[in-house]
Amino acid sequence: MESDQIQDDSTEKTMSRRGLLGRTATASAVLAVGGRLADPATADAADAAPEPDRGLVDVVLRVNGRVTRLRLDPRVTLLDALRDRVGLTGTKKGCDRGQCGTCTVHVDGRRVLSCLTLAGAVDGRQVTTIEGLARDDDLHPVQQAFLDHDGFQCGFCTSGQIMSAVAVLREGHAGSAEEIREFMSGNICRCGAYANIVDAVQAARAAGVMD
């Protein structure tokens, strides 16, 4: 007898295991349908059931002065909400685990890693992204300083670097190159543009930029 077959001793019939499983599944389906038909109230309730959005939460995101109301899975990060739901892709996803700083944004004026921040946790709070720094056609002075000092190469880390730099200036931690390096140490640049980034921040500080 083949290993995937079952022998029925009483009838001497042979039934394949696949055939047996198929029949069992069919019988279960029939019983399930029969049970539903036997209880019209249950059937009506099932038909009238709303779309499954159980567990979703309503979140009001205030980003760069604009309000967006979202219904989200509570596990959605601020980073994913910004990029996928609000459509602001200037904030980049690098490691997605709090190790590179590429996703840095400001919440109520303080820098946070948006990949480690749940969107629901910033409900109603003021979020600023790289898109919110410029005023109309005028770049923020720190953006301009990065341009003037070639503070980037590929640019992937740059939005996070600039958001951190703005915060470092605001926090008063740009007093020296060493201090800037220390307080921006969470922002990794794979291109190694660190020297020019520090130059840009120092130039912004020398120009009196504090915010």
Residues engaged in binding ligand FES (CB under 6 A)? 93-96, 98-103, 113, 115, 152-158, 189-191, 193
Nearest to 169 by CA among 130, 143, 201, 126: 201
Least distance in Å: CB of 187 to ligand FES? 9
Nearest to 149 by CA among 92, 202, 211: 202
Contacts 24+ apart (CB under 8 A), 197-201: 197/146, 197/149, 197/151, 197/152, 197/161, 197/165, 199/149, 199/151, 200/142, 200/145, 200/146, 200/148, 200/149, 200/151, 200/165, 201/142, 201/145, 201/165, 201/168, 201/169, 201/174
Angle between helices 194-206 and 141-148 (to 10 degrees): 130
| Closer residue to ligand FES in complex, CB, 59/200 | 200
| Closer residue to ligand FES in complex, CB, 52/140 | 140
| Closer residue to ligand FES in complex, CB, 133/197 | 197
| Closer residue to ligand FES in complex, CB, 7/195 | 195
| Closer residue to ligand FES in complex, CB, 93/173 | 93
Least distance in Å: CB of 78 to ligand FES? 10
Least distance in Å: CB of 38 to ligand FES? 54
Least distance in Å: CB of 171 to ligand FES? 19
Least distance in Å: CB of 97 to ligand FES? 6
In degrees, rounded to 5, the angle at the alpha carbon of residue 140 between the alpha carbons of residues 135 and 146 is 150
